[in-house]
Amino acid sequence: MNNKKDPISLIGEFILFNISIFSQLVHIRKRYTEIVKQMKKFGNDSLILITITSAFTGLVTSVQATYQTSGYIPEKLIGVLVGKSTMIELAPVLTGLVLAGKIGASIAAEIGSMRVSEQLDALKTLAIDPESYVFMPKVIASIIMFPILTIYSNIIGIFSAFLLSIVKYNINAYSFFVNMKEFFLPSDLWGGLVKSIFFGLVITMVGCFAGNRAEGGAEGVGIVTTQTVVYSSILILIMDFIVASLLFGNI
């Protein structure tokens, strides 16, 4: 992003830029192939990274839940703590932060390279709108894939916590999952999925906007890539608070 502009101008340009992208939704059927391609890139290519992150998050959650509640609540309720914390907060937020580094940086680098090499301008000369052909499929793919990846993260995180609970704390499967089911609320799951949709939008929109403003060759591409990861991560934490307050804070 161009650091010479004041923040108000940048925010205004960001809003107008994204309005132009969403105005291209009328052409969504024409971009089906590109949307599927981006879905594979966002989803399938991120599975290993999400698996490792979610597995160790589940392990840490199990250890911390047991340690912090020792002497206060029965160990058989560890599954409740793990399930709620994973579905509401850990899975969507950590998935978002990890994908901000992988997908956000990838989008910014790709579009930034297209900008500095004048490929986006070449598309316009061919009467192809970059907002419709390049940007919009990425945004739609993120709306679809981020909730799916969050569900996958939930499964891996909870299952890894369950395995550790069996091995280290001698908590049987019945106690772990039945108590989790007993205290489960649909809002626990849906709240996390709603968060993931907003996180996906933030990552792709910031990546597209930053990449589209790249200038100065390879150095400029590197700058916008770094800015995308930083700004996306900050906005994810801000959106996490806002969405959580609206869904769970009774405000």
Asked if 181 and 214 count as a contact pair (C-beta separation under 8 A), the reply is no
CA–CA distance, 146 with 135 (Å, rounded to integer): 17
* pLDDT for res 4: 59
* pLDDT for res 71: 63
CA-closest candidate to residue 114, choices 211, 39, 17, 37: 211
* pLDDT for res 108: 94
Asked if 116 and 214 count as a contact pair (C-beta separation under 8 A), the reply is yes
CA–CA distance, 228 with 211 (Å, rounded to integer): 8
Asked if 169 and 223 count as a contact pair (C-beta separation under 8 A), the reply is no
* pLDDT for res 184: 86
How big is the CA angle at 107 (ends 22 and 87), to the nearest 5 degrees? 80
pTM: 0.89
CA dihedral 243, 247, 249, 251 (to 10 degrees): 90
CA–CA distance, 9 with 79 (Å, rounded to integer): 48
Instruction: Walk along the chain (251 residues) and give the pLDDT tens digit of each residue.
Output: 544 567 888 889 999 999 999 988 888 888 899 999 999 999 888 999 999 999 999 999 888 877 776 667 676 778 888 888 899 999 999 999 999 999 999 999 999 999 998 899 898 888 888 898 999 999 999 999 999 999 999 999 999 998 988 888 778 888 888 888 888 888 889 999 999 999 999 999 999 999 999 888 888 899 999 999 999 999 999 999 999 888 887 64
